[in-house]
Amino acid sequence: MEAPQTSKYSLTEGGILKKLLLVAVPIMGTNLMQMAFTLTDMFWLGRVGSNAVASVGSAGMYLWLSFGFLLVGKMAAEIGVSQHLGRGDKKSALSFSQNSFVIALILGLLFGLALVFFNKYLIGFFNFRETHVAEDAAIYLFFCGFPMPFVFMSWVAVGTFNASGNSRTPFLFTALGLAANIILDPVFILILGMGVKGAAIATVIAQSISCSGIFIALFASKNRPFEKYTLRFRPELEKIKRLLKWSVPIGLENILFCFLAMVTTRIETSFGADAIAVSKIGAQVEALSWLIGGGFGSALVAFVGQNYGAGKWERIHRGTGIAAAVMTVWGTTITLVFIAFGAQIFSLFLPLPHLIILGKQYLFIMAFSQLSMNLETVASSSFKGTGRTIPPSLTSITCNVLRPALALFLSGTSLGLHGIWIAITATTILRGFWICLWYLFSKKRQKEK
């Protein structure tokens, strides 16, 4: 069966905002559903107790770390495929996607094996005071390690779809996986009484459903990016080198960001399991902001990539400006929501009065970094779409290195736990301000050329 032409997904022509939203909205939905996987676990585990939430929250740090490695394959596919589709070179675009799968398979195998065989040592990093919290966290990592190669490769498929302008298909199959997780979580966690282990099993089953659907779509969907797709595990070294040149800075940025967040979490453990539970749930709620921004950012990477390949610089600048305007509205809205409704939001997950108060304080502090964080996504994505991944990565790494030191210092003052959260907000604001200035300077230089 011959696949139809995908010109309707071309981002090099047509209304800019319409095209951005066409790609961004499904990616936002996909990102929110990825967050909802964890939030669903947190919601039901909150009924078990704060220790269960702390276990999955700390184990989740390593799943977050996996995303840094996963992004190497995904971003390689998004940049390589979008730029070559923009040039009208489908053969090269297909080859870049296939070589991205090779990268994803190797990294997925290595990361999955680490979770399966070294989970206890990994959780030991956090130095939990409560032994059973550490044991449950290790069990969660053990189960989540098995599907890692499959998950890594599925995100290359997602990146390939996004780069072609069709983000709707991955969204549909992610929704299917989320529906399975929503149904399975209460069954495994509460009805079968499996607690943290049940949450892990439910998540693995749901992920398998979602990933299988995305793979099938890549080969058989009528809106697939390429007429014929085959997995080829004989790497083309020149293409691999170029893919890694684009994607490794992004992966390192996210890996280091997560590692530094883990160091910050270790500082938080000195305040007990309740502090960890509040912080992890708060971070998941805050993810509502940056995952929406990230969805728009992924759309912008595809938009900039295709137009960069087509040599349409004015359209790139206009698209980035429109994205910045949309994200300004979004970031401001989230700031106001966190300030006004922090307690109500937090009560959905840990319905204990003292934890609700602490959660409200967390969201209030984080509210002030939301605008900066979303504008950072716009500037960074515009750089990434052209293959210039060093500026956003360098900015992020430099600012994030400051975070643990500032958190340690402020937590030792009368601010205590709140000092850690203030350090997170302050470094986020600095990061966004810096990359936006870099983008504006770069844009000026490009126009002068």
Q: Read out DSSP for 3-54? A: PPP-GGG-SSSS-HHHHHHHHHHHHHHHHHHHHHHHHHHHHHHTTT-HHHHH
Q: What is the pLDDT of residue 229?
A: 82
Of 5, 302, 307, 309, residue with least CA distance to 158: 302
Interior/surface letters 388-408, b for 16+ CB within 10 angstroms, e for the rest: ebebbbebbbebbeebbebbb
Question: What is the C-alpha to C-alpha distance for residues 295 and 293, in angstroms, rounded to an integer?
Answer: 5
Q: What are phi and psi of 328, to 5 degrees?
A: -65, -45
Q: What is the pLDDT of residue 106?
A: 92
Q: What is the pLDDT of residue 7?
A: 57
CB 306 within 8 A of CB 82: yes
Please give the span between the terminal C-alpha atoms of the chain, in angstroms, as a whole number.
47
Position of tokens 């504008």? 375
Q: What is the pLDDT of residue 449?
A: 66
Q: Which two tokens stand for residue 227?
A: 């007429």
Instruction: Give Cα separations from 157 to 99, 236, 277, 290 (angstroms).
Output: 12, 18, 34, 22
One-letter amino acid identity for 85? L
| DSSP helix/strand/coil, 232 | coil
Q: Is 350 left (phi over 0), alpha (psi -120 to 50) or beta?
A: beta
DSSP 7: G
Question: What is the C-alpha to C-alpha distance for residues 126 and 267, in angstroms, rounded to an integer?
Answer: 9
CB 290 within 8 A of CB 373: yes
Question: What is the C-alpha to C-alpha distance for residues 324 and 44, in angstroms, rounded to an integer?
Answer: 36
Per-residue pLDDT of the chain (449 residues; tens, 9 = 90+): 334 334 567 788 888 888 888 888 888 887 777 777 667 777 777 777 767 777 887 787 788 888 888 888 898 888 989 988 888 888 888 898 999 999 999 999 999 999 999 988 888 877 776 677 888 889 889 999 999 999 999 999 998 998 888 888 888 888 888 888 888 988 988 888 888 888 889 989 988 998 899 989 998 888 888 888 887 767 788 888 888 888 888 888 888 887 887 788 788 877 877 787 788 788 878 877 777 888 888 889 989 988 988 888 889 999 999 999 999 999 999 999 999 988 888 887 777 788 888 888 999 999 999 999 999 999 999 999 888 888 998 998 999 889 889 999 998 898 888 999 999 999 999 999 999 999 999 888 877 66
